[in-house]
Amino acid sequence: MTIITTTIPAPSAPHYRPTGVVRSEWTKLRSVRSTTWTLLATVVITVGIGIIATATEATRWAHSFPASHLSFDPTNLSLTGLLFGQFAIGILGVLAISAEYGTGTIRASLAAVPDRRMLLAAKAAVFALVVLVVGEVVSFSAFFIGQMLIGGGAPHATIGQAGVMRAVVGGGIYLALLGLLALGLGSIIRHTAGAIAVFVGVLLIIPLLLPALPTSLNHAINKFEPITIGNAMTSVNTHLGSGAAPTFSAWVGLAIMAGYAALALGIGGWRMMRRDA
């Protein structure tokens, strides 16, 4: 009697490449309605507030106090809307990952890409590129429209002046880094409402509470606030008015914001490695 034996091959490990993971994350990001709506809100808020701010300043410039002319920064004024549009970008950053945890689709993502560090890195890369492109488009649009409106009634800036290009480009970079910070918070907290609450608290609540502290402590903490750093990154005129809080330079602020984003994503990646979905 002859016994025939067969060997069943072991299932092969899933094959996935970084480019495939990136394409998958791009598909997920662009196919969600919240992406379109939040990016549209960023454009409308940033450009719209910039238009209002520059048009208002153009009409009242002739009647303003001469002392205020020393600290006048037409570039920063036209980019005022970035400090409001950042909240829409932050919400999108949180939703980019917290929504997957909320719906449970993160399990499918991790099943397809067991390397959690690669998954988070791909998500961060795709999100950062999208926000950077949108941020730069919005920043340049707000600048050119704002300077066109302000040119007739107050001093205006041109893109070729010293520091102006750096400030306008810095606006888009700031939004991208802020979005990555929000993405990191979403990966740490894994709950949409909780992560957004922390994000808003860092950007808005803490600055509102700082004036209650002694002046020296207020100034020491305030210059590390993202909203203060963002204002410095989009400023050209570094003249500080009487009693103004000191700030970091644009390049130092850029490094600090990059550090915030890297720290949040690093902690988020560590939690993904340590905890199940």
**Mean pLDDT for the stretch of residues 92-115:** 89
Q: pLDDT tens across 186-209, in order?
A: 999 999 999 999 999 999 999 889
Asked if the model's pLDDT at residue 6 lies above 50, the reply is: no
Least confidently predicted of 24-33, 221-230, 231-240:
231-240
What percent of the chain stands above pLDDT 70? 89
**CA distance linking residue 214 with residue 217, whole number of Å:** 5
Asked if the model's pLDDT at residue 155 lies above 90, the reply is: no
Q: pLDDT tens across 125-143, in order?
A: 999 999 999 999 999 999 9
Q: What local confidence, expressed as pLDDT, does residue 14 receive? A: 54
Selected residue with higher pLDDT from 62 and 167: 167
Asked if the model's pLDDT at residue 10 lies above 80, the reply is: no
For residue 43, how many other CB atoms are within 10 A of its CB? Answer: 18
The sign of the dihedral angle between the CA atoms of 47, 228, 89, 180 is: positive
Q: What local confidence, expressed as pLDDT, does residue 275 receive? A: 75
Q: What local confidence, expressed as pLDDT, does residue 65 receive? A: 67
Residue 18 CB contacts under 8 Å (≥ 6 apart), including other chains:
118, 122
pLDDT band at 80 (very low <50, low <70, confident <90, very high): very high
